[in-house]
Structure formats: structure tokens, C-alpha cells
Amino acid sequence: MTEEINLQTHLMEMLRKEKQITADLEKASRAKSDFLSRMSHDIRTPMNAIMGMAAIARSHLDSEERLLGCLEKIDTSSRLLLSIINEVLDMSKIESGSITLSEDEVNLPELVQSVVSMVQPLIDQKKQQFQIHINNMRHESVLGDMQRLQQLIMNLLTNAVKYTQEGGTIRLEICERPSDEPLTGIYEFVVEDNGIGMHSEFLSRIFEPFERADDQRIYTVQGTGLGLAICKSIVEMMGGQIQVETESGKGSKFTAFVCLKRTEGTIDEKALCGRTVLIADDDEITCVNTSKYLETVGIRTDWVSTGQEALNRAVAMHRKGQDYFAVILDLKMPGMDGIKTTGKIRENLGDDIPVILISAYDFSEYSDRAKEAGVDGFITKPLFLSRLVSKLKQFLPDTEPKAQNLPEAPPCSTENGFFWWRIML
């Protein structure tokens, strides 16, 4: 009797599992069919545009203006087409398990800079605010797959831009956490927006390939439903996880972490030990994080939130005969900005204290005004310890000559083409 009951229970359980598998397969196949029908439309639209524009160009060979217009449209449509094809091919490669990760030396400041330079134009186009915070990053060089890491962060950031209204805010935070594994760090990437958010029913499917929210707010937004599935595969291949918190109408927060082997850093940890630096930035998180970094290499810090406070502090310390080793000022602060504050410091204290400007914006349009006011150097945000230390070291006595008044080199180049396809979506 008991054996029969056990057998029956076992059979029922097998039947239930089989039903579940069939339902899952049906769902996956439905998602793929939906995807194919949407894709055939999405692929035909740019393809038709390319062919149409080529025909128009051929019949206007005498008009340079018309030809240029056609070429521009061909360029845009072909990039869009390439983006769709790349994403589909990428996903199929991942699904068949034929992707292997490379293990190159990755410099995280360079990685972040490349991602920022690619996403900034999209953010500017939608007049959105972009905040970047680097938190507790003690090891900036790791072994990993640069291209896949870029793809992970770019997919999350481009989604944040796409699904956030004009004027919204996008935040990227990168944080290093200790790991139990020797010489390994856990690197966490958080991308947060205050955009359209998602309904909770969608969350169980969000990382599945070809899935998009059934939400009329996204019908006009281009997408394949593959970006997040690709992100999930990347983080899992790197021994990590990805998760999302969201509220419809309020925004979304994606948190992904990966485990990466650290390589020896090149930061000179002793050169600046015992010096005191003043930081002024209206973004409190930047002040706190920068102070924490500098303290790890023995630099004492004071921080304030306005240019006026920075001036008051610098003057007060000067009167005590305890001048700061250097003053770091944010370019854009309400009230007195970094350049005006530098001018006031020069008026009150002369030229001796090095003043460094920090900004997420391109310095080139400010550099003449800044030089005139007496600024000695520039550092591009986000602030990594290596950048801060190498800039500050330029002001040590009897080392290199005073830092040149030149903005930093432009962000490192990447294979921008590789990401165009995602950016275009």
C-alpha cells in the first residue's frame, strides 16, 4: 500500500514537473516568436531607410547638400541595424555557452572614463543629470575582460537614460568590497535612475532574454529585451550577481557585483604622508569619499561645501601659519565657483598654495579663465586615488616642476564602435 502511494506521489510530482517544463518551453518559444516578429519590423525599418536614402542620393548626385543629408541618415540607420544584429548574435553566443572571458589588465579609472565619455552625449541630449561616485576603491588595477565589463556598465547606463524622462537623474556608483578569496576584490556597480520604473509583475522575467515590460510607456523606446539578459550572463561568468529594485513612476536601481583578481597597484603610498589638503565641493559624497581616499595614503583633509567656506578656512589656516599643502576646488559650486574662489585665494594668500580644480565637465572652455585666476592643475571626475596622488605629487618641493596649466588628456579611447549598437537602441 505504502509503496503504491509513494509511487503515485512520485508520478504526480513527475507529471507536475513535466507540465512546468512544457509551460516554460511554450513561454520561451512565445517570447522568441514575439521577438522575431518585432525584430523583422525593427530590422526592416532601418534597412528600408538605407535603401531609400541610397536611391535618393543616386538621383541627386549634383547636390552636395542632399548627398550629405542622405549619407547621414544612412549612417544612423546602419548603426541601428548593426546594434540589433550585434545584440542578437551576442545573446546567441552566450546561450550556446561559447563565450570565454579574457584576462587582461584592466585599469578601472580608464574603464570608467571610457564608459562616461560614451554615455555623456546621450545624457546631455536628454538634459539629464549624471552623478558618479567612486567609493572605497583601494585597488584600481584588476585582471578581467575589459570589453565585457564595459558592456555590463553601458547596458545598465543606456537603459537608465532610455527609461528616464528629460531632465531626470542618473547615478553610477562603483565600490570595492573585500573578498574572502586572496588577492581578489568584489567590485560593485550600481546604476540608479529616477525614471519610469517598472511594475513588480515584470521583475520575475526581467533578466530573461527577449523580455520587455508590457508597458505602453516603453512602446516608443527602441529595444530588443536582450541587454539585461546579457548583463546577467556577464556577471555570472565573473562570479557575481545582479539584482534590481524598482517602483513604477519613481525609478530603478540595478546593483551588479563581480569578483576580479587584483593586480599590483602603482600608487605611491608614502610620498604625501602627513600633508593637509582642503577640499571644497557642494556634493557631500564626493567630499567624504575623497577625504577617505586621501587619508588612506596618510594625507589629512578638511572639507567644506562652498567656495566662501574654502576661502575662510584657507585664510584662517594661513593666519595660524599652517597653510594647506594644496586646495582642491570643485569647478561648479553654487555662489562662488571654483575659479572665483581661486581668484580670492590668490588675492588674500598669494601664489604659494597650489589650487587644483575638479570637475566632471570638459575643462577646455574654462582653462583660460582658470589659468588667469591662478589655478595650478585640473583633475577630471570621477576622482580615483591614483589621479589625486599623482596630481598632488607634482606640487612636492624639489620634485617635478609646478604642474602645467593644462587640462588632462581627453578620456582614453575605446572601441567606440563596439558600443554604438547599444547606445543607439
| Cell (9 digits) for 101 | 572571458
Q: Is 198 in the site for ligand ADP (CB under 6 A)?
A: yes
Nearer to ligand ADP, 145 or 193 (CB): 193
C-alpha–C-alpha distance, residues 399 and 389, integer Å: 14
Specify the 3-state DSSP secondary structure of 338: helix
Least distance CB 166 / ligand ADP (angstroms):
15
Nearer to ligand ADP, 223 or 307 (CB): 223
Within residues 232-261, the interface with ligand ADP by CB under 6 A covers 252
Judged by CB under 6 A, the stretch of 57-65, 156-164, 180-188, 359-367 that binds ligand ADP is: 156-164
Candidate list 140, 193, 302, 337; residue touching ligand ADP; CB under 6 A: 193
Q: Is 224 in the site for ligand ADP (CB under 6 A)?
A: yes
Candidate list 46, 168, 227, 307; residue touching ligand ADP; CB under 6 A: 227
Q: Is 206 in the site for ligand ADP (CB under 6 A)?
A: yes
- What amino acid occupies position 258? V
Contact (CB, 8 A) for 221 and 196: no
Candidate list 88, 118, 160, 256; residue touching ligand ADP; CB under 6 A: 160
Least distance CB 223 / ligand ADP (angstroms):
2
C-alpha–C-alpha distance, residues 366 and 405, integer Å: 12
Contact (CB, 8 A) for 357 and 387: no
Q: Is 223 in the site for ligand ADP (CB under 6 A)?
A: yes
Judged by CB under 6 A, the stretch of 153-161, 271-279, 349-357, 360-368 that binds ligand ADP is: 153-161
Q: Is 382 in the site for ligand ADP (CB under 6 A)?
A: no
Size of the site for ligand ADP (CB under 6 A): 22
Least distance CB 92 / ligand ADP (angstroms):
15
Contact (CB, 8 A) for 345 and 327: yes
Judged by CB under 6 A, the stretch of 99-107, 146-154, 222-230, 321-329 that binds ligand ADP is: 222-230
Please enumerate in sequence order all residues whose Cβ is within 8 A of that of 19, keeping only pairs 6 or more positions apart, or say none.
none
Judged by CB under 6 A, the stretch of 109-117, 141-149, 182-190, 220-228 that binds ligand ADP is: 220-228
Within residues 163-182, the interface with ligand ADP by CB under 6 A covers 163
Within residues 304-333, the interface with ligand ADP by CB under 6 A covers none
Please enumerate in sequence order all residues whose Cβ is within 8 A of that of 244, keeping only pairs 6 or more positions apart, or say none.
198, 203, 206, 252, 253, 254, 255
Nearer to ligand ADP, 229 or 327 (CB): 229
Beta bridge partners of 241: 257
Q: Is 226 in the site for ligand ADP (CB under 6 A)?
A: yes
- What amino acid occupies position 316? A
Count of C-beta atoms within a 10 Å radius of residue 41? 9
Q: How many CA atoms lie within 13 A of 220 on its CB side?
A: 3
Q: Is 378 in the site for ligand ADP (CB under 6 A)?
A: no
Contact (CB, 8 A) for 304 and 313: yes
Least distance CB 193 / ligand ADP (angstroms):
5
Could you tell me which of 93, 80, 95 has the C-alpha nearest to residue 39? 80
Contact (CB, 8 A) for 195 and 168: yes
Could you tell me which of 155, 154, 80, 168 has the C-alpha nearest to residue 123? 168
Least distance CB 202 / ligand ADP (angstroms):
7
C-alpha–C-alpha distance, residues 60 and 64, integer Å: 8
3-state helix, strand, coil in the chain (%, to 5): 50, 20, 35
Q: Is 109 in the site for ligand ADP (CB under 6 A)?
A: no
Least distance CB 211 / ligand ADP (angstroms):
6
List contacts with ligand ADP (CB under 6 A). Answer: 155, 159-160, 163, 193, 195-198, 206, 212-213, 218, 223-229, 252, 425
